[in-house]
Amino acid sequence: MDHQVDFEAVRHRVKLLRDTGSERVYENRDAVGCPSCGEPFTEALVSTERTCQLSPEPSVDLCVVRESERIVVFTHA
């Protein structure tokens, strides 16, 4: 199963909230499904750094997809 996430393909359905060059945060605007659990995610953090920092609410569920070049973290509020 291909878990690669193509944000270019869904760029009209998500909104880029932050782009630092090595880190991007997308907001889900059209119930795009999380590739890990299949449920629509709230936000997606794409990081090409080896580490990334998150401070989610205690009630937020996280899904993580590790790709060869980057880590993608999906939050479910």
Enumerate binding residues for Zn ion (CB under 5 A): 34, 36-37, 63, 74
Q: Smallest distance from the beta carbon of 44 to Zn ion, in angstroms?
A: 10
Measured distance CA(55)–CA(62) in Å, rounded? 11
- State which residue, 6 or 21, has the beta carbon closest to Zn ion: 6
- State which residue, 10 or 20, has the beta carbon closest to Zn ion: 10
Q: Smallest distance from the beta carbon of 21 to Zn ion, in angstroms?
A: 25
Measured distance CA(70)–CA(77) in Å, rounded? 23
Phi, psi of 14 (to 5 degrees): -130, 160
